[in-house]
Every structure is written in C-alpha cells, then in structure tokens.
Chain A
Amino acid sequence: MLRFFLIRALRAFMTIVLVVTFAFVVLRLSGDPALIIMGPEAPPDAIIAFRKAWGLDQPIWIQYLSYFGAILGGDLGISMRDGQSAISLVMDRIPATLQLTVPALILKLMIGIPSGVYAALHRDSAVDRGVMAGAVIGFTMPSFVFGLILVLLFSVTWGLLPSGGRDSWMHAILPIVTMSIGGAGILARFSRSAMIEILGQPYMRTASAKGLPWRRVIWEHAFPNAAIPIVTITGFMVGTLIAGAVVVESLFSWPGIGRLLVVSVSNRDLAVVQCILLMVAATMVISNFVVDILYGYLDPRLRNNQARH
C-alpha cells in the first residue's frame, strides 16, 4: 500500500513539474509581458525599465531556474500586473469560482445519474429517447450558446433573473444552470450505458432468478458495478472544479479563477498563471487519487490488486 501511495505521489510531483515547465516555456516564448502589460503606446524607456525590474532582460534559462527555485522555496511569485503576491490574487478568486462549480457539480450529479439510470431501466421507451436526446443536446451545445439563450429568455425577455455579475444569489442561477447542463448530459449517457451493460450480465439474471426483489437487484448488484465509469467521469469533473468555468465566468461577468486565468494568460502574468496551474494540477491529482481509492472500494478485485502492490 505504501508503494501505491509513493508511486502516485511521485507521479503527481512529476505532473506538476511538467505543467510548470511547459507553461513557463510557452508563456515566455510567446510574448513579452512588458509590452503586453504596458501596451503598444507605452514609451520605449518605460518598457525597458519594466523588463529590467522583473528580470525579463535575463536569458530565459536563468529566469526559469530562479522561478523554479522560488517555487521549491514556497514562493509562488508576484503578479507583474499589479504587484500583489500571486497566491493572494488566486485565493481571493477561488471562493467565487467554487460558488459556481460546486453547486453545478451537485446539479450535474443529481440530474445526470438518475436520468441515465432511469433511461437504462426503461430502455427504448419514449422516456429513454427523450432523456438521450436531452443529453446529446446538453453536451453538444457550447456553454456560451446555451448561456446566451438562457440570458435572452430569463433576463432580456422575461426579466426574471440578472444577466451577469455577482451581487446576489440570484446572479448565480444562470451560470450554474449553464455549467450543469453539459456535465449532466455526459453523466446521463455514461450512467445509461454502464447500467445497460451491467443489466445484461449473467449475475444479474442469477440475482433475479434467486428471487431477490427488483429494487434490491438494481441497488445492490447493478448500481455498484455500474458506478466505476460514473466515478471516473465524476472524478474528472471534481478535478476541474477550480478551472472549469472560464467561458461561463466570462459570459456572466463572474469574477472567478476562470476570468483571472484569461486575463493573466493574455497579459503573460506568469506568476499568476503558474499559481492557477499548480492549483488545478493539485486538484486533479487529489481527485484522481480519491477516484483510485474509490475504485478499490467499489470493486474488490481492484482493492486486492492495490493491496498486493
């Protein structure tokens, strides 16, 4: 078991190093923060002074080493754009993003899994077709299109909900619904196909044949076995809790991590981008780790395999 943890920890560390290095190289080679932050009409001497002050006049490998050294020392750097520490900027935005992504995740689970399971249990019925049609529309329609339609209906036409901003809980409704719909569609499809596959297994016939009530057959034999792909997908969704709202945050003027990421990337504000990437990578790694543990819980064969390692 210790080996299992160590391998995953090492893998997580390497993932984070690769993410940090890749982001550094791409961001630094694709644009000069001085010129981008100060704009095309900035006096050339101001740009030179800015570059010197932030070490941008140094060779890129020196910049990388000093940056990486600082990260290892726990210093995630200062935002070139506004001179604040990157971590404080990021931490300031996380609550706003979680206010959207956590309810959206819950909504995805609450809509997606029951509807997928219900559709599987009523395969080829009108309900099944309706659920699947809704799911396909949900996950194929881009969130910015869906969001605009919702705004057009609920804000502009009916005046029921605000179209953007973060002034009250009412402002969160449209972005949460927009974010939920695609994920709910994906979960519905996965749940349906996983359940259909399990319902066709011989042990399901055995369970029915030995006289178990249908409800117990579904809840004790079918659902746990169908849960593995659902847990995998849910794990990915949990992993994107922090950075998964870029488009929706822009569309609804929601001041979260997604918008900070867009602004920071376009300004080549390296420290902030790296800080966000580290958070996202860490969330992904933790989420994957939890999913691995859940696999073992759901499937004894995997649990025994993990224990042997």
Chain B
Amino acid sequence: MVNFTRRSTLGLGAAAAGSLILPRFSIAQADQRPSITVAVQKISNSNTLDTLREQSNVGTRIFNSSLWETLIGTKWLSDLTATPGLATEWRRIDDKTLELKLRQGVKFHNGDEMTAEDVVFSFSKERMFGNTQPSTGKTIFVTEKNPLGRESKELPVEIPAVARRFWPALLGVEIVDKYTVRFVNGSSDVTMEGRLSAVASAIASRRAWDESKSYLDWARKPITTGPYKVAEFKPDTYLIYESHDQYWGGLPALKRIRFVEVPEVASRINGLLSGEYDLASDIPPDQIQGIEKNAGFEVLGGTITNHRLTVFDKTHPQLANPLVRRAFTHAIDRQAIVDSLWAGRTKVPAGLQWDFYADMLIKDWKVPEYNPELARKLLKDAGYKGDPIPYRLLNNYYTNQTPTAQVLVEMWNQVGLNVQIEMKENWQQILEKTPTRAVRDWSNSANFSDPVSSIVAQHGPNGQQQQVGEWTNEEMNTLSNFMETSTDRAKRREAFARMLQICERDDPAYTVLHQNAVFTAKSKKTKWKAAASFAMDFRAGNWG
C-alpha cells in the first residue's frame, strides 16, 4: 500500500506539474533559433510564388535555397557549380536520356515523402507544359493518376511558353522505380543537367497540387521540399516563411523569415538602422558608404550572374555598318564606370559568360578594349557623319542605369558619336519598332552553367533581340542550333568562342558594360554570408 504523506503528495504534484511544463520548456529551449525580418524592394512581381510565373531576380531571391529545390542543386555560397540536390546521383544513358537517383527520405512541407511520381508531375502538362508539344516528337506521359479537381487549375497562358523555353525538346519523364527517374529528350542535349539545376525545374508535391482549389491558391502557397515553408503571403506586403523542421538538409538556421516589401531605399535603410529589419536588400552602391559610416553596420554582396549590356539595333540606318557599332564598343571606359558608379564593387567581365561555365568558359576572351583612337578611326572608315543616334532609356530600371547612360553618352560623344538620350517609361516604348530605335539597355542572366542559357537564349534565333527584329546573323543562328544539339564539348566550346566573336566584335549585337551586383546591408553582429546571386541562403550554417 502506498502511503500518501503531505510531503509526498506535494512532491507528486510538483512532479506532475513539471511533467506538463518540462516538455514545453525543452521544446522552447531546443528551438532558440531566431526569427528575422528582411526588407526587400519587391517580393514578387507576379504576386505568386510559382517559379515558372515569377521569372525575375526578386523571385530568385525568395525561391532559391529557401523554398524551391531542384534535382541538381547549386552551391550558392561558393562558385555556383552543380551539387547533388533532390537527386543524389545522375548518369547519362545516352545523349538524349538522363537517369537520376532521387534522394530518399525527402519530406514535402505537407509531410509526404518525395517520390518519382512528384518528379513526373513537376514536368507534366498539368504543371508545366499545358498543350504544348516538344520541338521534336510528342510528349510521353508515363503516369496519369486520377487528377483531383484539376479542371479548375488552368495554367496561366505564359507558363507553358516559359516551360518550353527551358525544356524545348523534353519528351517526358519516365519512372524507373520509386526513387529513379529518366528524363527523355527528343534531341541530343548536353545541357539537360544544367536545365535541371534551374529553379524553373524545381519539384512540387503532386498531392498538394491536386488538393488546391485553384492555380492561384497553389501558387501562393506551393508545397515544396525547401528548408522553409510558406506560412503566409500577402502580395505586395509581406511573405512569411517558417522552418520546415523535417528538411532533409538539417534543421534550418531560422525559425521564421519575414520578407517585407519596402519600396523606398531610404525607408529600408532607416528600418535597418533603427533595428526593425535584420537585413535590408537592394541597397544601391551610392548608399554603401553612408551605411558603413555607422560602425555597427556593413554591406555585403557583390557580383551576380547577370551582366549589363548596351544593345544595338542594326536595322537603324546609322548602325547598319558594323564599324559604327564597333566604335561604340571601343569608346567605353568600363572600368571608369565600375569605379565611379559602383565604388569598385563589381567588375568588367570577360564578355557574355560567367566563371561557373567551367570548361565552356573562354578564358582568353575579353570585352573590347577602351581605345578612343580606334573608335574614331572606325567611325571615319565607316563614313559616319555625326547623324543623331537615339538611345532609348528607362529611368533606373537597372541600378545606376541613368547615370551610366549619361556617362556613356559623354564617352561616345568624345569619339564623335552623336548619341541622344530619349527617356521612355516602359519596355514597350523601348522595344517599339519605329525609326528611332537604335541603342538601348538590357541585362542578360545565365540560368545554368552553359552558354545555351544566355547567349543562345537571348541573342539566338528565338531570343528577344532577334524576335523583336533588332539584330540577326545567319552564322550565329546556325551555331545556336549546333550549341543546343551537339554533345561534342570541344566543338561546342569552339562554337561558343565564335559566337562571342560574332556578337561582340564582327557584327556587334550588344556590348557588355559590367557585371551586375546586388548588395544587402546588415548589422555586423549578424553572421550571415551573401551568395554570388540574388538568392538569399538561410540554410543551416549560414546564420548566427
């Protein structure tokens, strides 16, 4: 028989109370991770969190490494090269087929395990391609499990078009077993691995899609495998991520991330200095010095995989002669722009290519040298008489765009080019095909580590420059086709070198000004590293 004394009863009571309290206390103690607020200029242009709808730098920031994940990952904090992601290994079956072994035990935000079916769904007509067909052959649809309520989830019209740009010849994805898939292309393609690492190829939960009432419901709270899940998204206002504690890559560094949209630079900086924001993004270079005058704050960041260009319309009478366009390229002191407008915190790249191209990088390639004498000679040889050349300009769509344009116009005037700025309000006015279209600004990104992702995508036959009728070159188009279909890496490298020669020297389509850079301000006490990308990495190990 148990004797209950007053002391033992009190002790039991205390123990019982403790048993109720302690688990909570230990959970609380275990979860001492911070919650942070990040001020950004824009959260999402499309008001969705769909990687295929939000094709922008701001999308890159909130998607990559936080929400969405791809089969082949990217080393965001180092050299942006490929790394195992949701697939642990991959091999070529042939030039058109890639087999991937999926990582086992990966949990979606809804608790489901990721399997081959989710991968097939992520590349299906429901999610990606709509009624479009690959450029070669017909789509193979391996699995068609009873869709639940998909009739109300009609894709926005632009999604299939964007998806086909990423996967022009993908016939389909085959399930080998629960953890093995095969990507089958209609034509030879050495860039399949690269395409799989682009965020447009991220993996979504099939069940979550099926259970969503509408496309918009899904696109504002997609269920993915990333380290953070969407807790709340209020378009144009804030986006709250919460830790996905079952994340395969370890417990995320933060309990909660709140991105708040603060359109004004001054407001972002003030909010950081007053302690409301932990990080303030999209800091213009001319504000860096002012922020760093405060001893407790610093500005991180640097170059990203995006280059600023000046683009030529060779159908304009003054630009028809390539010598005139070459004169433009030699009249620019790019380093002066980097030093004066970017405080030296970006660089002049080696043409339209990036270091992460690895073996496809043309190492001895350079932008045209700054040589005003040569520029003057080229203009003389071209018989240019000083006729006006319009330069359509947006007001700081790109960082430092207007001051850069003013500097450029002065540099061009120095060699005898009569370039006149015409301020425009939007891209339609910039691209409109009228007699005054001649020179404009642009930026080009590389979505994956191959020239197909940039020079081919943007200046090849299907790229914007040719589609709007600014520029075309027969040899460039042949080489673009070769780059997309050849598997001979040495010959592809040669072809890429020739493309640079055509687009940047022989028949200039554009000239690269500088690499773009992005800056984030923070307190020095915050231990966080910025990636060489718009992506903000908050995974385990990058905070504290």
A interface, CB within 8 angstroms of B: 30-32, 35-50, 52-53, 81-84, 148, 151-152, 155-156, 159, 162-166, 250-253, 255, 259-260, 262-263, 266, 268
Known: A82-B216, A83-B215, A163-B274. 10 other contacts (CB 8 A): A40-B430, A41-B464, A45-B462, A50-B158, A81-B46, A151-B270, A155-B276, A166-B237, A251-B267, A259-B236
Chain B residues contacting A263 (CB-CB under 8 Å) are 236
A262 CB contacts on chain B under 8 angstroms: 263
Interface residues of B in 147-186 (CB under 8 A from A): 156-158, 160-162, 164-165
Binding site for A on B (CB under 8 A): 45-48, 55-56, 156-158, 160-162, 164-165, 215-216, 234-237, 260-264, 266-267, 270-271, 273-276, 425-431, 442-445, 458, 462, 464, 467-468
Please tell me if the beta carbons of A53 and B267 are within 8 angstroms of each other in the complex: no
Q: How far is the CA of A158 from the CA of B8 in the complex (A)?
A: 55
What are 6 A-B pairs at a CB distance below 8 A? A31-B427, A31-B428, A32-B427, A50-B158, A81-B47, A253-B260
Choose among A36, A45, A156, A165 the residue that contacts B161 (Cβ–Cβ < 8 A): A45
A42-B430 Cα distance, complex, nearest whole Å? 15
B267 with A35: CB separation less than 8 A: no
Contact count A vs B, C-beta below 8 Å? 138
Given A44-B468, A251-B267, are A164 and B47 neighbors across the interface (CB < 8 Å)?
Answer: no
CB contacts (< 8 Å) of A38 on chain B: these are 55, 158
Nearest 8 Cβ contacts at the A-B interface: A46-B161, A82-B47, A32-B428, A44-B467, A31-B426, A53-B157, A255-B237, A46-B158
Residues of A within 8 A of B468 (CB): 44
**What is the minimal beta-carbon distance from B214 to any residue of chain A, in angstroms?**
9
Contact A35 B431 (CB under 8 A): yes
Contact A49 B260 (CB under 8 A): no
Known contacts A41-B55, A155-B270, A156-B274; A250 and B429 CB within 8 A of each other: no
The answer to whether A30 touches B161 (Cβ under 8 A) is no
Chain A nearest Cβ from B296, distance in angstroms: 13
B261: chain A residues at CB < 8 Å are 253, 255
Kindly state the separation between the CA atoms of A301 and B426 in the bound complex, as whole angstroms: 53
Within the assembled complex, what's the spacing in Å between the Cα atoms of A53 and B444?
27
- Chain B neighbourhood of A82, CB < 8 A: 46-48, 216, 235
Q: Closest Cβ of chain A: how far from B108's Cβ, in Å?
A: 24
- Whether A164 pairs with B271 at a CB distance below 8 angstroms is yes
Give the distance to chain A from B255, nearest Cβ to Cβ, in Å.
18
B264 touching A250, Cβ below 8 Å: yes
* Chain A residue with the shortest CB-CB distance to B445: A41
**What's the nearest-Cβ distance from chain A to residue B404, in Å?**
16
Q: How far is the CA of A44 from the CA of B461 in the complex (A)?
A: 11
Question: Do A36 and B427 form a contact, CB below 8 Å, given A41-B445, A46-B165, A81-B46?
Answer: yes
> In the docked arrangement, what's the CA distance between A166 and B46, Å?
22
Do A164 and B276 have beta carbons less than 8 Å apart? yes
- A42-B162, A50-B157, A52-B157 as given contacts; A163 in contact with B55, CB under 8 Å: no
Q: Residue on A with the closest CB to B160? A: A49
Q: Is the CB of A43 within 8 A of B264?
A: no
Partner of A30, one of B157, B237, B425, B431: B425
Q: With the chains together, A159 CA to B271 CA distance in Å?
A: 10
Residues of B within 8 A of A40 (CB): 427, 430-431, 442-443, 464
Min CB distance, A276 to chain B, in Å? 14
On whether the beta carbons of B45 and A39 are closer than 8 Å, the reply is yes
Contact in complex: B442, A31 (CB < 8 Å): no
Separation in Å of the A86 CB from the closest CB of chain B? 13
Contacts of B430 in A (CB 8 A): 40
Complex interface: chain A residues within 8 A of B164 (CB): 45
B161 and A49 form a contact (CB under 8 A): yes
Q: What is the chain B residue whose CB lies nearest that of A252?
A: B267
Q: Are A46's CB and B162's CB within 8 A? A: yes
- Contact in complex: A250, B263 (CB < 8 Å): yes
